Amino acid sequence: MNIIEIHGLTKDYALGETTVHALRGIDLTIAKGDLVCIMGPSGCGKTTLLNVIGGIDSATTGSVRIGGQELTTLPDREITDLRLHRLGFIFQTFNLIPVLTATENVEFPLLLQKEHSKSEIRARAEKLLEEVGLSEYRHHRPSELSGGQRQRIAIARALVTNPDIVLADEPTANLDSVTGASILEIMQTMNQRQQTTFLFSTHDKNVLKYARTVVHIKDGLIDGE
């Protein structure tokens, strides 16, 4: 089953008088449970593609289906709902909430869902922190943790709602190569354990080996087809 189906996706940005064609006709299908690397140089459209798949940005033309559901015609409220229940996000700059502890950061998406009791939420967050090896740091705030530890918290936060898909935009770009490798190894483990589909982007050829499928992008198009 294809969890993501993209056809003829374009994305234009208005930049003053000119138009930037960030995506110029992407066709892409991704199987459920895959671990996919979106690979390409800076400016090729990786962030734009992940943002459109994640409902953070809208398509200009084309079709994006997530689990069979067409995203491009979905009302905003339903996109918010899809993001909260079926997608997890990991960012290059971690994007943790500085005033919250590690546990509280991981709990945050579950609090937004408003569907679970406080004790369920705490238990689930602590389980995820344990899975990423950070239990002993659960009371720490992000500023007291290293980049690699922060990104582990972000992985736990992305997975705490048990999403179908995790989107990670250059998750290793702000980490040294050893720490970056450990982050991708955690993603591999979580991918195998839970059948969660992972998409991560990178411009770094050294991390390709962590993916099961590699999608090359060049100038807003899939390269090498």
Q: Which is nearer to ligand ADP, 84 or 221 (CB)?
A: 221
Query: Does residue 47 bind ligand ADP (CB under 6 A)?
Result: yes
Question: Computed over its alpha carbons, how large is the radius of gyration of the chain?
Answer: 17
b/e code 32-47 from CB counts within 10 Å (16+ = b) = ebbbbbbbbeeebbbb
Q: Is the CB of residue 25 less than 8 Å from the CB of residue 10?
A: yes
Q: Which is nearer to ligand ADP, 139 or 218 (CB)?
A: 218
Amino acid code (one letter) for 176 = D
* Size of residue set near ligand ADP by CB under 6 A: 12
The whole-angstrom separation of Cα 86 and Cα 140 is 28
Applying CB under 6 A, which of residues 19, 20, 115, 123 lies at the interface with ligand ADP? 20
Mark the segment that binds ligand ADP (CB under 6 A) among 15-23, 74-82, 109-117, 144-152.
15-23
Give the side-chain half-sphere CA count within 13 A for 132: 29
Q: Is the CB of residue 103 less than 8 Å from the CB of residue 125?
A: yes
Question: Residue 43 binds which one of ligand ADP, Mg ion, none, with CB within 5 to 8 A depending on kind?
Answer: ligand ADP
Strands 2-15 and 69-70: unpaired
Closest listed residue to residue 76, CA positions, set 90, 58, 64: 58
Amino acid code (one letter) for 204 = D
Helix crossing, 147-159 with 118-131: angle to 10°? 130
Minimal distance, residue 170 CB to Mg ion, in Å: 6
Closest listed residue to residue 53, CA positions, set 32, 24, 83: 83
Q: Which is nearer to ligand ADP, 13 or 123 (CB)?
A: 13
Query: Does residue 191 bind Mg ion (CB under 5 A)?
Result: no
Applying CB under 6 A, which of residues 45, 55, 142, 148 lies at the interface with ligand ADP? 45
Q: Which helix (H) or strand (E) holds 127?
A: helix 118-131
The contact pattern for Mg ion, residues 31-70, with x = CB under 5 A and - = no contact, is ---------------xx-----------------------
Minimal distance, residue 141 CB to Mg ion, in Å: 27
Minimal distance, residue 176 CB to ligand ADP, in Å: 21
Minimal distance, residue 9 CB to ligand ADP, in Å: 12
Applying CB under 6 A, which of residues 15, 75, 178, 224 lies at the interface with ligand ADP? 15
Cβ neighbours, 10 Å, residue 186: 19
Q: Which is nearer to ligand ADP, 102 or 154 (CB)?
A: 154
**Residues of this chain that bind Mg ion (CB under 5 A):** 46-47
**Residues of this chain that bind ligand ADP (CB under 6 A):** 13, 15, 20, 22, 40, 42-48
